[in-house]
Amino acid sequence: MKSLEGKKGLVVGIANEHSIAWGCAKAFHGAGAEIAVTYLNEKAERFVRPLAEQINSPIILPLDVQDDQQMADLFEVIGESWGGLDFLLHSIAFAPMEDLHGRVVDCSREGFLKAMDISCHSFLRMARLAEPLLKRGDDGGSLLTVTYYGSEKVVPHYGVMGPVKAALESAVRYLASDLGNDRIRVNALSPGPLMTRAASGIRDFEQLLAEARAKAPEHEVVGIDDVGALARFLVSDEARFITGNVAYVDAGFHTVL
């Protein structure tokens, strides 16, 4: 039997075939899970729908996490169609370019709040809506988000996303504590740098990739399938005692100076 056979999961954050969320969705599907997929807007739908169809997604819906009604509708459809949910992946981030490209000390209040809202608080909102659906299963369920090492150390040009990811990682620990009694597990994946649309907003990203390859103990950079493999394990029953973690998949980069 495949490790996720019979499980149902929601994947938020596929923009195109380079997205980390797509690597995870493929891994979940390959392990036997049924996957609901969202796309940000009409423009994104063009790229996301064909991918969702490749993995036979029975639920393909729009979701801009800033739109509370859209998020409520999504979870309602999931509840009606599936009667429950086993896991979800939140793989989204956003910061306005002018704030991302400046010094953190100059970041505007509006930019900071928007980055926090989309990249961090949206995970809490999703957890709250998912909670009653996850509780319907015998063994709780699992929530995953995606963070980056720039939360911990100052990474050139990561800017305001550093403090935002630090808040996200802390939120993971508090959510794990809040939801643990219901056996709902909460973890963050922390991949090394990967060339995606989100990454293209970071200045000198090529340099970050080169440095990761040069310094990481394994002298490699990871791909979306490597992140997918970790995500597949973390949402599986085999990971039932793993919660509140930041799980690195970065060829060891975070361990070296």
Calpha distance 37→17 (Å, rounded) = 13
Burial of 39 (0-12, 13-18, 19+ CB in 10 A): buried
Least distance (Å) between residue 55 CB and ligand 0WD? 16
Asked if 35 contacts 29 with a C-beta cutoff of 8 angstroms, the reply is: yes
- Binding flag, residue 19, ligand 0WD (CB under 6 A): yes
Residue 26 annotated as lining a ligand binding site: no
- Binding flag, residue 13, ligand 0WD (CB under 6 A): yes
Q: What is the CA radius of gyration of the chain?
A: 17
Residue number, 66 or 177, with CB nearest to ligand 0WD: 66
Residue number, 140 or 191, with CB nearest to ligand 0WD: 191
Tell me how far apart the 2 most distant CA atoms of the chain are, in Å: 53
Q: How do 141-146 and 184-191 pair as beta strands?
A: parallel
Q: Helix crossing, 42-54 with 20-30: angle to 10°? A: 30
Three-state SS for 195? coil
- Binding flag, residue 15, ligand 0WD (CB under 6 A): yes
- Binding flag, residue 191, ligand 0WD (CB under 6 A): yes
C-alpha dist (Å) from residue 72 to 125, 159, 160? 10, 32, 29
Which are the contacts of 42, defined by CB distance < 8 A and separation ≥ 6? 62
List the one residue from 197, 203, 219, 240 that touches ligand 0WD (CB under 6 A): 197
- Binding flag, residue 66, ligand 0WD (CB under 6 A): yes
- Binding flag, residue 63, ligand 0WD (CB under 6 A): yes
Catalytic positions, written as ranges? 148, 158
Least distance (Å) between residue 183 CB and ligand 0WD? 26
- Binding flag, residue 196, ligand 0WD (CB under 6 A): yes
List the one residue from 24, 52, 92, 247 that touches ligand 0WD (CB under 6 A): 92
Residue 77 annotated as lining a ligand binding site: no
Structure tokens at 154: 């100052």
- Binding flag, residue 111, ligand 0WD (CB under 6 A): no
- Binding flag, residue 94, ligand 0WD (CB under 6 A): yes
Residues that constitute the known binding site for substrate: 95
